[in-house]
């Protein structure tokens, strides 16, 4: 009997040693995502990232209920996290809303900061239109170091009244003496990739960067391809289904559109995503910018030119135009179209309006950035069969891993303020769901972490 006990203890000691040894050597690649909605290109990204980095696991930092292009996510963050977990991602964390709705520079700074604070991320892998890491790295280093020739050209462009993105594009072309850079600097994922590399370079971070070329469809493509369609194309198809079903309710449309849409999406998105799209359609999604129209109109009625400029991305000129056109406001999208100019894009306008609506000020953004950006990692969900990955993160993280929103004792003052902002933004999104689909309101504190 004694020998049996000793053998048993020895057996479990070996298993425990192997587990600890495995965790010590674990390599983790970080993915910065929106999954709006999740599709085959994202699944390819997950698998390819682990392959080219040699990582044991890929953990995800995902935008919450609002995305970087200046819009609400089409479906809530917990549903999008669930699809990612179904696809094999072990842990999904939320990018704080002030960074998720920020410019490419702030979006990247927030996500990179979070990965840095976790203390155990070996690499990040991002998708890009060009797929050429060397080119993106050279551009990122120039943007970070600002050599005199580049800096002079940039300031010259700004003096001429060009927008910052346009002035920077021309300055980089002049510095590298390469007109072909337009094809790189006009693509959104290339721009984000440059910002990821720049953020890590400025931090002198040991985290390595890798890129993979986007499969088939471009970021803005609105037509379905054979198997790797863009999120834009899928959102457009879902919007068509939603609008058609609404017309059917009014007696103006008599075709079962949603079932046809889901059939068309088979082969474009994983089966788990098809299931969620079917089960939650018109109960949890779709949500669009125009659903926030009345809230934004109310908010703008409380503002003046002087108060508007305190919000992120609101210049004095934009504040003047918002006030001068306030009486012409009809819908969120219509107002963005009305305000955009040659030097200020629709996306920039939309992002600015959401900053007003969510109360994200320049002080908030600058204080978060200057205080180290991310002060916590809010866990949206994890897989039970990958609990060792979550344990690994907990063991190495320099910031609290938040699984319950009531557990905020360990947060810094800045972190607590950021989390309060996240909770407000999520509750506002939930209020839209409640109003649109006539369902009970679920406060953010009542939302359960997704566990598969």
- For every residue of 257-312, DSSP letters joined together read HHHHHHHHHBTTB-HHHHHHHHHHBTTTB---GGGGHHHHHHHHHT--HHHHTTBT
For residue 279, the Cα-to-chain-centroid distance in whole angstroms is 24
Are 354 and 412 in a shared domain? no
**396 known ligand binder:** no
Are 310 and 396 in a shared domain? no
pLDDT class for 1, splitting at 50, 70, 90?
A: low
**32 known ligand binder:** yes
CB 184 within 8 A of CB 135: yes
**44 known ligand binder:** yes
Q: What mean pLDDT is predicted for residues 79-100?
A: 97
Are 87 and 122 in a shared domain? yes
Are 298 and 446 in a shared domain? no
**41 known ligand binder:** yes
> Which one, of 176, 433, 419, lies nearest residue 282 by Cα?
433
Asked, for residue 11, whether it belongs to a domain, the answer is no
Tell me which residue range forms the domain holding 309: 289-363
CB 121 within 8 A of CB 115: yes
Instruction: Report the domain count for the chain.
Output: 3
Are 247 and 304 in a shared domain? no
Asked, for residue 12, whether it belongs to a domain, the answer is no
| Residue 62: per-residue pLDDT | 98
**206 known ligand binder:** no
Return the bridge partners of 104, or none: none
| Residue 143: per-residue pLDDT | 97
Are 191 and 60 in a shared domain? yes
Give the predicted TM-score (pTM) of the model.
0.91
| Residue 24: per-residue pLDDT | 64
Q: What mean pLDDT is predicted for residues 25-31?
A: 95
Are 52 and 188 in a shared domain? yes
Q: pLDDT tens across 188-245, in order? A: 999 999 999 999 999 999 999 999 998 754 555 556 766 788 899 999 888 887 776 5
Asked, for residue 151, whether it belongs to a domain, the answer is no
Asked, for residue 172, whether it belongs to a domain, the answer is no
Are 126 and 49 in a shared domain? yes
**12 known ligand binder:** no
Are 388 and 240 in a shared domain? no
Are 262 and 321 in a shared domain? no
β-bridge pairing 66-67 and 71-72: antiparallel
Give me the CATH number covering residue 101: 3.40.50.620
Asked, for residue 297, whether it belongs to a domain, the answer is yes
Whether residue 65 has pLDDT greater than 50: yes
> Which one, of 121, 46, 78, 26, lies nearest residue 452 by Cα?
78
Asked, for residue 163, whether it belongs to a domain, the answer is no
Last residue within a domain, chosen from 363, 382, 416: 363
**321 known ligand binder:** no
**355 known ligand binder:** no
Spatial separation of the C-alpha atoms in residues 192 and 34, rounded to whole Å: 13
* Residue percentage of the chain with pLDDT more than 70: 89
Q: What mean pLDDT is predicted for residues 252-264?
A: 71
CB atoms closer than 10 angstroms to residue 294: 12
Asked, for residue 165, whether it belongs to a domain, the answer is no
Alpha helices in 87-187 (DSSP H): 97-100, 104-118, 133-145, 148-159, 164-176, 182-185
**35 known ligand binder:** yes
Asked, for residue 373, whether it belongs to a domain, the answer is yes
**36 known ligand binder:** yes
| Residue 250: per-residue pLDDT | 44
Of the listed ranges 154-163, 240-249, 439-448, the least confidently predicted one is 240-249
Q: pLDDT tens across 359-417, in order? A: 999 999 988 888 888 999 999 999 999 999 999 999 999 999 999 999 888 999 999 99
Last residue within a domain, chosen from 339, 363, 387: 363
Are 239 and 340 in a shared domain? no
**43 known ligand binder:** yes
State both tokens at 302. Answer: 């409380």
Are 50 and 198 in a shared domain? yes
Q: What mean pLDDT is predicted for residues 109-115?
A: 97
- Mean of all residue pLDDT scores within the chain: 91
């Amino acid at each position: 009997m004694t020998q049996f006990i000793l053998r048993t203890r020895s057996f479990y000691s070996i298993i425990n040693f192997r587990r600890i040894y495995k965790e010590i050597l674990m390599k983790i690649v970080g993915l910065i995502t929106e999954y709006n909605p999740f599709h085959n290109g994202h699944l390819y990204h997950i698998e390819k990232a682990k392959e080219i980095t040699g990582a044991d696991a890929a953990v995800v930092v995902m935008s919450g209920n609002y995305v970087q292009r200046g819009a609400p996510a089409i479906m809530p963050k917990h549903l999008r996290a669930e699809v990612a977990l179904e696809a094999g991602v072990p842990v999904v964390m939320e990018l704080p809303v002030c960074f998720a709705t920020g410019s490419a520079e702030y979006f990247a700074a927030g996500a990179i900061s979070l990965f840095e604070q976790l203390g155990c991320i070996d690499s990040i892998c991002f998708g890009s239109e060009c797929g050429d890491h060397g080119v993106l790295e050279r551009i990122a280093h120039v943007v970070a170091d600002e050599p005199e020739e580049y800096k002079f050209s940039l300031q010259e462009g700004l003096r001429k009244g060009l927008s910052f993105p346009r002035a920077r594009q021309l300055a980089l072309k002049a510095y590298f003496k390469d007109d072909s850079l337009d094809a790189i600097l006009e693509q959104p994922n290339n721009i984000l990739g440059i910002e990821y590399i720049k953020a890590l370079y400025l931090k002198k971070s040991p985290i390595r960067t890798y890129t993979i070329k986007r499969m088939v469809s471009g970021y803005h493509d609105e037509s379905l391809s054979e198997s790797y369609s863009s999120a834009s194309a899928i959102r457009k198809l879902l919007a068509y289904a939603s609008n058609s079903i609404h017309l059917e309710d009014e007696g103006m449309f008599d075709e079962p559109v949603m079932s046809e849409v889901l059939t068309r999406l088979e082969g474009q998105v994983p089966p788990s995503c098809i299931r969620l799209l079917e089960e939650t359609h018109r109960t949890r999604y779709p949500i669009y910018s125009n659903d926030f129209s009345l809230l934004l109109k109310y908010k703008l009625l409380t503002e003046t030119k002087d108060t508007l400029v305190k919000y992120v991305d609101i210049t004095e000129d934009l504040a003047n135009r918002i006030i001068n056109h306030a009486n012409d406001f009809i819908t969120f999208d219509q107002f963005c179209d009305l305000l955009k100019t040659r030097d200020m894009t629709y996306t920039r306008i939309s992002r600015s309006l959401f900053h007003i609506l969510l109360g994200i000020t320049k002080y908030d953004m600058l204080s978060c950035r200057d205080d180290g950006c991310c002060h916590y990692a809010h866990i949206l969900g994890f897989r039970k069969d990958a609990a060792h990955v979550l344990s690994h993160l907990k063991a190495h993280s320099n910031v609290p891993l938040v699984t319950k929103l009531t557990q905020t004792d360990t947060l810094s003052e800045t972190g607590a303020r950021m989390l309060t902002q996240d909770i407000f933004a999520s509750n506002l999104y939930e209020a839209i769901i409640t109003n649109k689909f006539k369902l009970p309101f679920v406060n953010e504190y009542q939302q359960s972490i997704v566990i598969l």
